[in-house]
Amino acid sequence: GKNEYDLLVIGGGSGGLACAKEAAQFGRKVAVLDYVEPSPRGTTWGLGGTCVNVGCIPKKLMHQAALLGSALKDAQHYGWNISQPVHHTWSVMAQGVQNYVKSLNWGHRVQLQDKKVKYFNIKGSFSDPHTVRGLTKAGKETVVTADNIVIATGGRPKYPTHIAGALEYGITSDDLFWLKESPGKTLPSFSLYVSLECAGFLTGIGLDTTVMMRSIPLRGFDQAQMASLVTEHMESYGTKFLKRCFPTKVEKLKNNRLQVTWKNADLDREESDSFDTVMWAVGRAPDTKTLNLETIGVKTNSETGKIIVDASEATSVPHIYAVGDITEGRPELTPTAIAAGKLLAQRLFGHSSELMDYDNVPTTVFTPLEYGCVGLSEEAAVQRHGSDNIEIYHAYYKPLEFTVAERDSTQCYIKMVCLREREQRILGLHFIGPNAGEVIQGFALGIKCGATYPQMMKTVGIHPTCAEEVTKLHITKRSGLDATVTGC
Amino acid sequence: SVQAHKEEDNPPKTMEVNVLTPLPDSYDYDLIVIGGGSGGLAAAKEAAKYGKKVMVLDFVTPTPQGSSWGLGGTCVNVGCIPKKLMHQAALLGQALQDSRKFGWQFTEEVKHNWMTMTESVQNYIGSLNWGYRVALRDMKVTYENAYGEFVGPHTIKITNKKGIEKLYTAERFIIATGERPRYLGIPGDKEFCISSDDLFSLPYCPGKTLVVGASYVALECAGFLAGLGLDVTVMVRSILLRGFDQDMANRIGEYMKEHGVNFIRQFVPIKVEQTEEGTPGILKVTAKSTTGDQIIEGEYNTVLLAIGRDPCTRKIGLDKVGVNINEKTGKIPVSDEEQTNVPYIYAVGDILQDKLELTPVAIQAGRLLVRRLYAGTTTKCDYVNVPTTVFTPLEYGACGYSEETAVEKFGEENIEVYHSHFWPLEWTVPSRDNNKCYAKIICNIQDNERVIGFHVLGPNAGEVTQGFAAAIKCGLTKEQLDSTVGIHPVCAEV
């Protein structure tokens, strides 16, 4: 028979909602399924996906809370009289953040309603290539059929289940943002961006925080120096690091605190300490298990579990697509999911043929000193073109606002990776400093236009900003000269 | 008649030069730069790199109130730098309020201490003055804290603070004397009013302040003074931010009004009297309407004039060497290579006619000029699509055409304006204004929807705008803009 819907989207997150709403613009009959399996701790949330509920949004807000803590310290240098001591209350912050997130959940529901997209709060699985079956929370079964189906179920944090006590006693980012009470003395493990960002803001609001690091920090990001500058700053900021340590077990103590034991690889011995909270950030796994993909023939990557798609987001089954964190080989970022979802809807229903461009996607790590980047890391550029064919311009700079505040700017650094020939096209730009995201965004546009080093130099700076330092880069790594910026 | 000395160590104390004197075969210097500000210092340091013998003259004529400062020019001493730092102090005041909603707790009453801030700011400026002196010394550029004026071809007379005069000659000159704030020319203006030249080193809190003017200087100062908790009124003759996109200008004004800055529109002061002495005292301002006969009076602790700036070109002997200036404005017309009508005399920075009054432009122009003179390059300063930012409480960054200018040049039917309000994530939790931040781009339909204007009103507008300016320099089109993924969650992704 005829399918009930033109488009069914499984997963109401960044990618899913963007796709659904775009398709509805073309007058199509669209349905969205969204369901949040509670975390092992029991945490759950509303419509909107990871970004809105347990990702970008609460993360940036808590990061802002930490930045405001620094602002309070700076303010005194700028003449503001604030009585000491200054306290931070977790529950006030958490409530403010959680209320805002809930308003977004509500906003999404209203938007779907306005655009006449049908929303089901059910956990769906495929019973055949055009049919998805699911149970509501109350246990009622619902069947939805559609011509086209988009899988956008995202991912959930992994647990290092081989570590005794990890699952029983640890939490993840899924839980952190919804805690009603302060996490206290916390051990974020390991050192992916999620861990560092959380460790950063926890330190900023005054909590005793230790990051356990197995090997390198910020895997996947520029290792030539950006990653270590980020962690160096965090150390001077007050976050403790246990380097080259690997946890072996987590036990609960009588006073409800947690005892963590780990192996210190450098000293070759076991160590332990007690914490209030252990947070795992060991990566995220795609949420595909309960979808029943094997029975309908949607191929996944055997190692990662992610869905394999082609350049048009199509899976191995003709009318089934996938967008967002669940897709293999794509950046796990909200804006790419949104863009891919929208373009997909435009291709399916809007006679467009435009494919998503995943090149030169800018991103930012919101650690206490933020790190924004677009394009290739130094290592990737060297690997692709050879170190003789690339030129790296760099500079250590000092944000003006740090001067009066007497803040340390040792890790404020910019690096531009260019090709040596072909008019010195820019391959990558890396920026550590305040407001890194705001700085990098515009330059990402430039790189999309094929910006070259000379064009960058022709661009006049805005004074006084941090971003202008990008237009003034002139010391190369090759020269070995001191790259510290000295005054106007 | 006397010949100028070849040795720079013992120049004669006072001299006269007769225009019939034959010029010496070799000059004292390859280059003399008059003015140690952004443009002048950049040019001087660049020339020293090519082994040229360079002298920099810098002299600050004290303000009517007696304020003065060190080497570095307007930007460093009484412009960009102290302005941004005081703007930051005001932003931190706002941050304090926000922080309570993010869980921070401290006493209800928070006061600002003007002296603490000003001292810190002045200390930092002092370190910059020092840094410049060291840099010039390290690069073997001769620096004289003296007032320079032309007395004859290739010859300049310098007078230091003690009145001692010396004469020097150079093969080439760069005039980079910049500007100083204009006064109203009404009774009491020089005696009782201050300008931006005085504000940043004011040794007492300005108190209840009247800012006269609607320039970016006026609005930026009014903005941070209000942010520090002072009672501020801005008296505007006609429109805000003349020369800027007027839609954006009005939004800025609205925001400031909503955040406690009073505006008196269509009035000009006609008299300023002192009713009480003190630091600050009390001043009575009488103002007349521009649209009728209405007269109003008001009392303020401080009156800050920010009605414009005039070039320092009238008293530097330009007539003696025949350099043309615009008699009305005092600005110097130059070619696109910064050359005046006298071949060996160049000019950079705020004094140039029809060019932008911005530090980075002056620096760029100065450097490129020197490279053309001594390094054989041909690159000229690119004055097109120069980005700028107004650091009002709600910051405004812009690059390219304003909407009005675009309509005028290309015709309304040939441009497309894309716009959006946005709510910075950081403003949500503290419930700050949710419909004030705004961004718009102006595209030229006939040229592949090329982005010809970019405007953003929101936090960190300068940081946001810089990269877009680079992209516009690369010929950004709307399509390319659309296909660039945003960074989430930041304001710039809008």
Comparing C-alpha atoms, which of A238, A232, A240, A235 is closest to residue A432?
A: A232
Q: Residue A71 half-sphere exposure, CB side, CA atoms within 13 Å?
A: 22
Interstrand relation of A363-365 and A320-322 (parallel, antiparallel or unpaired): unpaired
A353: contact with B, CB 8 A cutoff? no
Interface contact B101-A92, CB threshold 8 A: yes
* Å between A169 CA and nearest CA of chain B: 27
Residue B236's DSSP bridge partners are B265
Q: What is the mean pLDDT of residues B86-92?
A: 96
SS3 A212: strand
A-chain residue closest to B38, CA distance: A488
**Spatial separation of the C-alpha atoms in residues B240 and B215, rounded to whole Å:** 7
Which residue stretches of A320-435 are H helix?
334-349, 378-385, 400-405
Nearest Cβ partner for B474 among A81, A83, A455: A455
B-chain residue closest to A104, CA distance: B428
Domains of chain B, by residue range, sit at: 29-181+310-375, 182-307, 394-483
As a three-state string, the secondary structure of chain B is CCCCCCCCCCCCCCCCCCCCCCCCCCCCEEEEEECCCHHHHHHHHHHHHCCCCEEEECCCCCCCCCCCCCCCHHHHHHCHHHHHHHHHHHHHHHHHHHHHHCCEECCCCCEECHHHHHHHHHHHHHHHHHHHHHHHHHCCCEEECEEEEEEECCEEEEEECCCCEEEEEEEEEEECCCEEECCCCCCCHHHHCEEHHHHCCCCCCCCCEEEECCCHHHHHHHHHHHHCCCCEEEEECCCCCCCCCHHHHHHHHHHHHHCCCEEEECEEEEEEEEEECCCCCEEEEEEEECCCCCEEEEEECEEEECCCEEECCCCCCHHHHCCCCCCCCCCECCCCCCECCCCCEEECCCCECCCCCCHHHHHHHHHHHHHHHHCCCCCCCCCCCCCEEECCCCCEEEEECCHHHHHHHHCHHHEEEEEEEECCHHHHCCCCCCCCEEEEEEEEHHHCCEEEEEEEECCCHHHHHHHHHHHHHCCCEHHHHHCCCCCCCCHHHC
Interface contact B488-A51, CB threshold 8 A: yes
Interface contact A462-B469, CB threshold 8 A: yes
- In CATH terms, is domain B182-307 a member of 3.50.50.60? yes
Q: What is the mean pLDDT of residues B335-344?
A: 95
Stretch 318-347 of chain A: residues touching chain B, C-beta under 8 Å: 333-336, 339
The pLDDT > 90 percentage for chain B reads 84
Instruction: Give the model's pLDDT for residue B21.
Output: 47
Q: Mind listing the pLDDT tens digit of every residue in chain A (488 residues)? A: 589 999 999 999 999 999 999 999 999 999 999 999 999 999 999 999 999 999 999 999 999 999 999 999 999 999 999 887 899 999 999 999 999 999 999 999 999 999 999 999 999 999 999 999 988 878 889 999 999 999 999 999 999 999 999 999 999 999 999 999 999 999 998 888 999 999 999 999 999 999 999 888 888 888 878 999 999 999 999 999 999 999 999 999 999 999 999 999 999 999 999 999 999 999 999 988 889 999 899 999 999 999 999 999 999 999 999 999 999 999 999 999 999 999 999 999 998 999 998 888 999 999 999 999 999 999 999 999 999 999 999 999 999 999 888 898 999 999 999 999 878 999 999 999 999 999 999 999 999 899 999 999 889 999 999 999 999 999 999 999 999 886 65
Check B154, B419, B455, B488 and give the catalytic one.
Answer: B488
B16 confidence band (pLDDT: 50, 70, 90): very low
**Spatial separation of the C-alpha atoms in residues A43 and B313, rounded to whole Å:** 71
Active site residues of A: 463
Phi and psi at residue B233, to the nearest 5°: -130, 140
B106 burial type by CB count under 10 A (0-12 exposed, 13-18 middle, 19+ buried): middle
B28 confidence band (pLDDT: 50, 70, 90): very high
Q: How far is residue A75 from each of residues A82, A84, A307, A405, B128, measured CA to CA in Å?
A: 8, 13, 49, 8, 22
Residues in B touching A179 (Cβ below 8 Å) = none
Interface contact B113-A56, CB threshold 8 A: no
Residue A188's DSSP bridge partners are A279
The structure tokens listed for A174 are 């899924």
Active site annotation includes B259:
no
B276 is in an annotated binding site: no
**Spatial separation of the C-alpha atoms in residues B122 and B126, rounded to whole Å:** 6
Comparing C-alpha atoms, which of A26, A28, A30 is closest to residue A12?
A: A30
pLDDT at B431 over 90: no
**Spatial separation of the C-alpha atoms in residues A60 and A202, rounded to whole Å:** 12
**Which of B115, B136, B386, B474 best tests the A interface by mutation, with the highest count of A CBs <10 A?**
B474
pLDDT at B142 over 80: yes
Whether this prediction's pTM lies above 0.80 is answered by yes
Contact A44, A38 (CB under 8 A): yes
Stretch 371-390 of chain A: residues touching chain B, C-beta under 8 Å: 372
pLDDT at B252 over 90: yes
Contact B226, B232 (CB under 8 A): yes
**Spatial separation of the C-alpha atoms in residues A293 and A298, rounded to whole Å:** 5
Give ∠ CA B164-B166-B170 in degrees, rounded to 5: 155
Stretch 157-186 of chain A: residues touching chain B, C-beta under 8 Å: none
The one-letter code for the residue type at A299 is K
Give ∠ CA B277-B283-B286 in degrees, rounded to 5: 150
Average pLDDT of chain B is 91
Comparing C-alpha atoms, which of A128, A123, A157, A161 is closest to residue A142?
A: A123
Residues in A touching B471 (Cβ below 8 Å) = 442-443, 445-446, 448-449, 451
pLDDT tens, position by position, B292-305: 999 999 999 999 99
B380 is in an annotated binding site: no
CATH class of B29-181+310-375: alpha beta
CATH class of B394-483: alpha beta
Residue with tokens 């004055």: B383
Phi and psi at residue B264, to the nearest 5°: -115, 110
B216 is in an annotated binding site: yes
Domains and CATH numbers, chain A: 5-157+285-350 (3.50.50.60), 160-281 (3.50.50.60), 369-479 (3.30.390.30)
pLDDT tens, position by position, A147-173: 999 999 999 999 999 999 999 999 999
B-chain residue closest to A182, CA distance: B103
What CA dihedral angle connects A474, A479, A480 and A486, to 10 degrees? -30
B214 is in an annotated binding site: yes
Instruction: Give the model's pLDDT for residue B19.
Output: 46
Interface contact B470-A400, CB threshold 8 A: no
**Spatial separation of the C-alpha atoms in residues B74 and B81, rounded to whole Å:** 9
Domain B29-181+310-375 matches domain B182-307 at the CATH topology level: yes
Phi-psi region of A304 (alpha: psi -120 to 50; beta: other; left: phi over 0): alpha
**Alpha-carbon torsion A452, A457, A462, A464, what sign?**
positive
Comparing C-alpha atoms, which of A466, A445, A468, A453 is closest to residue A420?
A: A453
**Which of B38, B77, B83, B92 best tests the A interface by mutation, with the highest count of A CBs <10 A?**
B92
